[in-house]
Structure 1
Amino acid sequence: MYSILFIIGLCHLLNDTLQSVTTAMFPILEKSMGLTFTQLGLIAFTLNMVSSVMQPVIGWYSDKHPMPFALPVGLMSSLLGILGLAFANSFFTIIISVVFIGLGSAVFHPEGSRVAYMAAGSRRGLAQSIYQVGGNSGQALAPVITALVLVPLGQFGAVWFTIVAALAVLFLVYIAKWYSNRLLTTQMMKSKKKVQEHRPVTKSIILALLIIIFLIFARSWYGSAISNFYTFYAIKKYGLTIAQSQSYIFAFLFMGAVGTFLGGPLADRFGKRNVILFSLLAAAPLALLLPFVGPHLAFIILAVIGLILMSNFSVTVVYAQELIPGKVGTMSGLTVGLAFGMGAIGSVALGSLIDSIGLRPTMIGISLLPLIGILAVFLPNDNKLEVR
Structure 2
Amino acid sequence: MEEQKNKIRPEFSILLAVSFAHLLNDLIQGVIPSVYPLLKEEHQLSFSQIGIITLVYQIAASIFQPVVGAYTDRKPVPYSQIIGMSFSIAGMALFSYAPSYAMILCAVFLVGIGSSIFHPESSRVAYLASGGKRSMAQSIFQIGGNAGTALAPILVAYLVLPRGQSSIVWFCAIGIVGQIVSYYIGNWYSEKLKNRSQNSKSTVRIPDLSDTRVYMTVFILMLLIISKYFYIASITNYFQFYTMEKFGITEIQAQVYLFYFLIAVAAGTLLGGIFGDRFGRKYVIWFSVLGVAPFALFLPYADYTMTGVLVVIIGLILSSAFPAIIVYAQELLPKKLGMVSGLFYGFAFGMGGLGSALLGWHADHTSIEFIYHICSYLPLIGVVAYFLPNLQRIPYKEVI
* 1:320 counterpart = 2:339: no
Work out whether residues 24 and 145 of structure 1, in 8 Å CA contact, stay in contact via their aligned partners in 2.
no
The match for 1:247 is 256
Structure 1 equivalent of residue 185 of structure 2: 175
* Structure 1 residue ranges (4+ consecutive) displaced by more than 4 angstroms after TM superposition: 196-201
Letter in 2 for 1:137: A
Q: Percent identity?
A: 40
Rounded to whole Å, the distance in 1 between the matches of 2:263 and 2:395 is 33
1:140-159 counterparts in 2 under 5 A?
Answer: 140-159=150-169
Retained in 1: the 8 A contact 2:61–2:115?
Answer: yes
Q: Give the 5 Å matches for 1:80-119.
A: 80-119=90-129
TM-score normalised per structure 2: 0.94
Q: Which moved further from structure 2: 354-363 or 58-67? A: 354-363
Cα distance in 2 between the residues matched to 1:61 and 1:213: 22
1:1-388 superposed matches below 5 A: 1-193=11-203, 196-197=205-206, 202-384=211-393, 387=396
Q: Is the 8 A contact 1:124 1:318 kept in 2?
A: yes
Contact 1:216/1:339 (<8 A) preserved: yes
Please tell me the residue identity of whatever aligns with 1:262.
L
The alpha-carbon distance between structure 1 residues 219 and 204, as it changes in their structure 2 partners (threshold 3 A), is same
Tell me the CA shift for residue 237 of structure 1. Answer: 0.5
| Contact 1:231–1:242 (CA under 8 A) maintained in structure 2 | yes
Given the superposition, is the C-alpha separation of residues 276 and 200 from structure 1 closer, same or farther in structure 2, using an over 3 Å criterion?
A: closer
Q: Which amino acid aligns with 1:23?
A: P
TM-aligned CA deviation for residue 189 of structure 1: 3.7
**For residues 338-381 of structure 1, what are the alpha-carbon distances to aligned partners after superposition, in whole Å with 9 as ceiling and x for unaligned?**
11010010011000010111112111000100010000000001
User: What is the CA–CA distance in structure 2 between the aligned matches of 1:385 and 1:368, rounded to whole Å?
Assistant: 33
Deviation at 1:146, TM superposition (A): 2.6
> SS state of the match for residue 203, structure 2?
helix
Unaligned runs of 5+ in 1: none
CA deviation profile, 1:135-167 (whole Å, cap 9, x unmatched) = 111111232123111211111121110110000
For the 8 Å contact 1:199–1:325, the answer to whether it is kept is: no
Q: Per-residue CA shift, 1:289-315, capped at 9, x if unaligned? A: 001010101001100100000001111
The whole-number CA distance in structure 1 between the counterparts of 2:146 and 2:208 is 31
2:3 aligned residue: none
Three-state SS of the structure 2 residue aligned to 1:327 is helix
Amino acid of the structure 2 residue aligned with 1:177: N
Which secondary structure does the structure 2 equivalent of 1:121 belong to?
coil
Kept in 2: contact 1:57–1:333 (CA 8 A) = yes
Distance change (3 Å), C-alpha of 1:257 and 1:83: same
In structure 1, what is the Cα distance between the partners aligned to 2:199 and 2:104? 46
More helix by proportion, 1 or 2? 1
1:191 is paired with a residue of what secondary structure?
Answer: coil
Q: Secondary structure at the match of 1:256?
A: helix
User: Distance in 2 between the 1:162 and 1:131 partners?
Assistant: 22
5+ long unaligned stretches in structure 2? 1-10
Shift of the alpha carbon at 1:190?
A: 4.7
Distance in 2 (alpha carbons) for counterparts of 1:198 and 1:244: 49
Q: Helix, strand or coil for the counterpart of 1:346?
A: helix
Give 1:199 shift.
7.2
Letter in 1 for 2:372: M
Q: How many residues align?
A: 387
Cα displacement string for residues 226-249 of structure 1 (whole angstroms, at most 9, x for unaligned residues): 110011010010000000011221
C-alpha offsets along residues 240-260 of structure 1, whole Å, 9 cap, x if unaligned? 000001122111111001101
- Normalising by structure 1, report the TM-score: 0.97
- The 1-side partners of 2:70 and 2:380 are apart by 32
- Contact 1:320 / 1:331 at 8 angstroms: preserved in 2? yes
2:273 is aligned with what amino acid? Answer: G
CA contact (8 A) 2:206 2:331 kept: no
**Structure 1 contact 199–324 (Cα < 8 Å) conserved:** no
Secondary structure of the residue that 2:257 maps to in structure 1?
helix
Query: Is contact 2:226-2:351 (8 Å) kept?
Result: yes
Distance 1:238 1:386, change over 3 A: farther
Q: Secondary structure at the match of 1:192?
A: coil
